[in-house]
Amino acid sequence: MSTSGKLSMLEYVAMTPATLRRQIVGEYERPLAEALQRFGGRCVRIVASGSSYNAALITRHYLRRWLEREVLVTEPFSFCAYELPPCGDEFPFVVSQSGYSSNALSALDALRRCGRMAIGVTANPQSDFKDRAELLVDYGAGEETVGYVTMGVTALCFFLCLFALRTAHLEGRLDGDGWQAERAKLYRTVEAFEQISQQAEPLLRRRYRELSSMESAFLIGTGPAYGVACEGALKLGETVQIDAIPCETEEFLHGPELRLTPAYTLFFLATGKAARERGIELWRAASLVTDRVFLLTDDPQAENADLRLPPDLDELLAPLCFLPFFQIAAFFLTKELHRWHRHPLVRQLEEAVSGKSGNYIPKEVL
């Protein structure tokens, strides 16, 4: 526990599996699935920012499979500026873990002005979301007391997956046996999450020299793994305070590779039958430039992988099991390098403009 007496990022990562298992049986997703069933639209739009946006990216392909609808992911400010009013066949909902994000609150208000139901999904049902959402959905994570969320983003991924499965069940595409089988896959995903969590610190110790001296990093993946790369880059950037850039696997070869030097660190998330081979090929090629390359994969045959997932996971769920590595790395390296405190001028920026409502109480950085 941190010196403030509050839970740390590391402790929230450790608590995550219990939260995920509680979500599987808790039916937190039912109100949102029932709302979609009533509406019947052919497109779902998730309006979210930060880690919530990344959770939607991670799960988007899983949602498309089970919802049998197109799934769009849009930042709240862009949604309000360019995407209103929503198409008549579009089912939008707004996500904010804290429930105090000013851009998400504005999106709820904009939906009401358009005559559409303002649906808010949050981990804190006592937040400002309760006054602005016509349908308030608690996704079951609880409020984290540190500013850098970990448990909440993973729990949001699970909530969205359960929302898709519940909708498929309500609409008759998934019978009772199928529902139980898919829930079993979610339980197996939790077990894999725990396995990666246990392997994270040994890897950090084993390659401490490279990781503790990171200054610029690429996180590279495709599909769900790209969403994990986005969240990993966000975590490393906001805590360790390095330049961390997410990149789609093949797009890495269309400009980003030109800046490589032996000082760069690269994390390749090579998962899924359609993308893992190319990811591993790029990992090998990048090692010609820098020794600071890491391979995270679900390929049981890949040699010298730094982290390897078990082979029996749903490939659309598997990449989210790598989240704890980046979450633990962010905490571990920031603590080791004493980088919790930002440049003093950042305080002036935050005083000049805020991304939270006036009711938000700033969280401890530790």
User: Taking the CB of residue 62, how many other CB atoms lie within 10 A of it?
Assistant: 22
Q: How far apart are CA 366 and CA 124, in angstroms?
A: 20
Residues 326-339: tens digit of each pLDDT? 999 999 999 999 99
Low-confidence ranges of the chain (pLDDT < 50): 366
Instruction: Give the per-residue pLDDT at 366.
Output: 46
Give yes or no for a contact between 310 and 192, defined as CB atoms under 8 angstroms apart.
yes
Task: Identify whether residues 295 and 314 lie together within a single domain.
Answer: yes
Task: Identify whether residues 124 and 234 lie together within a single domain.
Answer: no
Give yes or no for a contact between 339 and 241, defined as CB atoms under 8 angstroms apart.
yes
Q: Which residue, 189, 218, 240, sits at the end of a domain? A: 189
Task: Identify whether residues 141 and 275 lie together within a single domain.
Answer: no
Task: Identify whether residues 90 and 154 lie together within a single domain.
Answer: yes
The count of domains in the chain is 2
Task: Give SS3 for 305.
Answer: coil
Task: Identify whether residues 215 and 182 lie together within a single domain.
Answer: no
Give yes or no for a contact between 254 and 279, defined as CB atoms under 8 angstroms apart.
no
Task: Identify whether residues 35 and 156 lie together within a single domain.
Answer: yes
Instruction: Give the per-residue pLDDT at 99.
Output: 87
Q: How far apart are CA 220 and CA 229, in angstroms?
A: 6
Task: Identify whether residues 14 and 138 lie together within a single domain.
Answer: yes
Task: Identify whether residues 221 and 134 lie together within a single domain.
Answer: no
Task: Identify whether residues 130 and 237 lie together within a single domain.
Answer: no
Written as six digits, the tokens of 94 are: 């707004």
Residue 76 in any domain: the answer is: yes
Residue 324 in any domain: the answer is: yes
Task: Identify whether residues 184 and 211 lie together within a single domain.
Answer: no
List, in order, residues 6 or more apart from 106 with CB less than 8 Å away: 76, 77, 80
Residue 360 in any domain: the answer is: no
Range list of H helices, 171-223: 176-206, 208-212
Residue 170 in any domain: the answer is: yes
Residue 87 in any domain: the answer is: yes
Instruction: Give the per-residue pLDDT at 364.
Output: 55
- What is the domain range of residue 99? 9-189
Instruction: Give the per-residue pLDDT at 363.
Output: 63
Residue 168 in any domain: the answer is: yes
Residue 43 in any domain: the answer is: yes
Task: Identify whether residues 176 and 231 lie together within a single domain.
Answer: no
**Which secondary structure element, helix H or strand E, spans residue 328, and what is its range?**
helix 323-337
Task: Identify whether residues 175 and 321 lie together within a single domain.
Answer: no
Q: Which residue, 133, 158, 189, sits at the end of a domain? A: 189
Q: Which residue, 150, 169, 189, sits at the end of a domain? A: 189
Residue 219 in any domain: the answer is: yes
Name which of 196, 214, 202 is nearest 323 in CA terms: 196
Name which of 51, 56, 102, 58 is nearest 80 in CA terms: 102
Q: How far apart are CA 357 and CA 366, in angstroms?
A: 22
Domain CATH for 234: 3.40.50.10490
pTM over 0.85: yes
User: Could you tell me if residue 216 is left (phi over 0), alpha (psi between -120 and 50 degrees) or otherwise beta?
Assistant: beta
